[in-house]
Structures are given as C-alpha cells and as structure tokens.
Amino acid sequence: MASSSLGLVSARFLSLAAHFIITISIFWAREDNVKAGLGLDFTTQEYDDKDTSLIVALSLTLACMLVEIVGFFGGVTTFMQTISLLSMCLHSVACITLAFFVWDIWDCDLYWVLFAIFSALPAAVETVAIVGFVGFSKLC
C-alpha cells in the first residue's frame, strides 16, 4: 500500500509540474492563439483585449497551481489518495489538451473552459481539503 501511495504522489507532482511548464510555454507563444480568435481584419484594441483575457486566464491558472502546491508540499493533501488521483488525472489531461491548444492554434476564448476544468476544479478541491484539515485540527 505504501509504494502505491508514493507512486501516486510522484505522479501527481510530475503532472502538476508538466502542467506548469506548458502554461509558461503558452505565455511565450500566445500570439497565434490570440490571432486565431480574431477575424482577418482586426484592430489593435481587439487584439489587446483578447491578449489581456488570455493573460488573465493564464495568471489565474498559475494562482490555482500555487494553491495546489501549498497543499501538496504543506503535507495537507500529499497522501490523500482521492485528491491526488483527481489532481493527477486532471493535470495529465490538461497537459495533453494544452499541447493541442498550442500546436493546433485554438481560439484563446476556449482557454477559459480549459481553465475551469483543469485548474479551477482541482484548486477548489484542494482548498476545501485544506480548509477542512485546518478547521478539523482546530477542533481537536
């Protein structure tokens, strides 16, 4: 049982790290994705609005990852198998999906859906676990 738990912990860390790396890569290569959501004729203002929207979404993704890293490295959810499995699965699928997002040059508005599923959901679960852990610790 202990070795399967350690494998899940390392897989969770690797999937979270991979999701972090591809998110940073999207920051660098976001121009094509921004242009994919615009028509052939677009103004500078339209481009800037889309670009700002994508930057905000990517920044929120990094903030959600920070919440997960705090819970993970803080030891609160490190060995919680259900949370680790959910996090690992969502971040792994996020890596694959975001790779297609960059390679196939998807519209940047689609990133908000990807953010909700692959970043906000695991961060919300992590937050509930942290609050529950801290709250339960104070009761005991």
How sure is the predictor about 2, in pLDDT bands with cuts at 50, 70 and 90? low
Report the predicted TM-score, pTM, of the whole model to 2 decimal places: 0.91
In this model, does residue 41 exceed pLDDT 70?
Answer: yes
How sure is the predictor about 134, in pLDDT bands with cuts at 50, 70 and 90? confident
Distance CA 39, CA 30 (A): 16
Per the prediction, the chain carries an average pLDDT of 93
Distance CA 71, CA 76 (A): 5
How sure is the predictor about 3, in pLDDT bands with cuts at 50, 70 and 90? low
In this model, does residue 137 exceed pLDDT 90?
Answer: no
Identify the residue whose tokens are 């677009």. Answer: 42
Task: Give me the percent of the chain exceeding a pLDDT of 70.
Answer: 96
Segment among 12-16, 82-86, 102-106, 135-139 with least mean pLDDT: 135-139
Residue 41's domain spans which residues? 2-139
Q: Say which amino acid occupies 98.
A: L
Segment among 47-61, 68-82, 113-127 with least mean pLDDT: 68-82
Task: Give me the percent of the chain exceeding a pLDDT of 90.
Answer: 86
- Residues 129-137 have a mean pLDDT of 89
Helix (H), strand (E), coil (C) string for the chain: CHHHHHHHHHHHHHHHHHHHHHHHHHHHCHHHHHHHCCCCCCCHHHHHHHHHHHHHHHHHHHHHHHHHHHHHHCCCCCCCHHHHHHHHHHHHHHHHHHHHHHHCCCCHHHHHHHHHHHHHHHHHHHHHHHHHHHHHHHHC
Q: What's the total number of domains in the chain?
A: 1
